[in-house]
Amino acid sequence: MMRLIRSLALAVSAALFALPASAPASAKEYRLLSSWDQNYAYNPYILDPFVEAVKKATDGRVSISISGPEAVPPFEQVEPVGAGVFDFLFTHGAYHFGTSPIMTVADALEGDLAKVRESGLFDVLDKHYQQFGLKLVVLPVTPEGAYHIILRQPVSPEGDLRGRKIRGSLTYKGVIEMLGGVLVVLPPSEIYTGLEKGLVDGAAWPIIGALDYNWYEVAKYLLRPAFGVNYEPIFMNLNAWNALDKADQDAITKVGHDIEDSWYAESPAVWKKEEDALLAKGMTITEMGDAQKAKLREAWSTSLWAMAAEKNPTATKELLEFARSKGMAQ
């Protein structure tokens, strides 16, 4: 019996020594669900740096694998992350408007990162989303001019898009309708085909993306001016967050702040670089009419607040009052 116990002890010791010396004792791979595929233009500036920096900052205790809309459609992703099927979520508010309109209407707020931080907006949004089992960990925000519309044909002589079918999420409804267009909701994976076959006459999207998705092949015009502020959060399952030790929570928070800082500073140059590349590939700028330009900012923000109020009047009123008190909304 003693010989057997000694043999087992030696076997266990050998197995332990065979483990990689660099493997952290409590290392875990977490699953992140993204609303976009690997070609999404914001990935190199938000998602990829987040994944890499979190692993480094936690000494490998938190590593993250990424799944996209092939795993769960973009409009259905909040529930599985809140339930713990996935651990992180990279998304936009428009993709879960049916669950909550609050992150959608955040795009109507001012694009000033310093004001976002000073106001306490992060904490307000974080508290709201905890009811869905989510913890807000990164809140990237851009200056004004984060969205645009690409078109198969230039604007009309009146400077509008009257009667044209424009792909968009609900975020773009006010601008598209102000321009006389008709909103058509399509998932990102169907935009190229929709433009190619003329199922839609244009597509609204963040101001970068047409290059990586090759939409310039099927739509030749960039509508200007661009408009709106962009908030694209990264959430973590609340239970998974609470299970982390304080050191790892602090490390993830620090990574989030660094990404927010870098993206806010870099985004205008990134936008300009893509526009230049698209023009070099044969796209042309087409300008809204003066009357449409004058209505653009109001059409964007008013529509977002109205849609949000219809979906959740109480939460929307609270956010609007908060934003006005901090000088972030009219």
- Domain with residue 221: its CATH number is 3.40.190.10
Return the CA Rg of the chain.
Answer: 23
Q: Could you tell me the pLDDT band of residue 138, with boundaries at 50, 70 and 90?
A: very high
Q: Could you tell me the pLDDT band of residue 187, with boundaries at 50, 70 and 90?
A: confident
What DSSP letter does each residue of 21-82 carry, written as one string? Answer: TTS-TT-EEEEEEESS-TT-TTTTTTHHHHHHHHHHHTTTSEEEEEE-TTTS-GGG-HHHHH
* C-alpha distances in Å from residue 207, one per residue of 7, 56, 127, 217, 232: 65, 31, 30, 16, 13
Instruction: Give 152-177 pLDDT, tens digit per residue.
Output: 999 999 999 999 999 998 889 999 99
Q: Which domain holds residue 163?
A: 147-228+281-307
3 pLDDT more than 90? no
Q: Are 201 and 165 in contact (CB under 8 A)?
A: yes
Residue 36 vs residue 18, higher pLDDT: 36
Does the residue 97 lie in any domain? no
Residues 328, 70: Cα–Cα separation, whole Å: 36
189 pLDDT more than 50? yes
Does the residue 104 lie in any domain? no
Q: Are 291 and 79 in contact (CB under 8 A)?
A: no
Instruction: Give 260-283 pLDDT, tens digit per residue.
Output: 999 999 999 999 999 999 999 999
Does the residue 198 lie in any domain? yes
Residues 150, 286: Cα–Cα separation, whole Å: 9
Instruction: Give 26-75 pLDDT, tens digit per residue.
Output: 789 999 999 999 989 999 999 999 999 999 999 999 999 999 999 999 99
Q: How many domains does the chain have?
A: 1
Q: What is the mean pLDDT of residues 16-35?
A: 68
Does the residue 57 lie in any domain? no
Give the pLDDT of residue 20: 44
Give the pLDDT of residue 215: 97
DSSP 8-class letter at 155: P
Give the pLDDT of residue 14: 40
Instruction: Give 197-240 pLDDT, tens digit per residue.
Output: 999 999 999 999 999 999 999 999 999 999 999 999 999 999 99
Residue 86: strand pairing partners:
none
Does the residue 167 lie in any domain? yes
Residues 111, 234: Cα–Cα separation, whole Å: 18
Residue 19 vs residue 43, higher pLDDT: 43
Give the pLDDT of residue 110: 85
Residues 53, 170: Cα–Cα separation, whole Å: 32
Q: Under the phi-then-psi rule, with left for phi > 0, alpha for psi from -120 to 50, and beta for the rest, what region is 288?
A: beta
CB atoms within 10 A of CB 154: 15
Does the residue 138 lie in any domain? no
Does the residue 66 lie in any domain? no
Instruction: Give 92-121 pLDDT, tens digit per residue.
Output: 999 999 999 999 999 999 889 999 999 999
Give the pLDDT of residue 26: 73
Does the residue 162 lie in any domain? yes
Q: Are 231 and 110 in contact (CB under 8 A)?
A: no
9 pLDDT more than 70? no
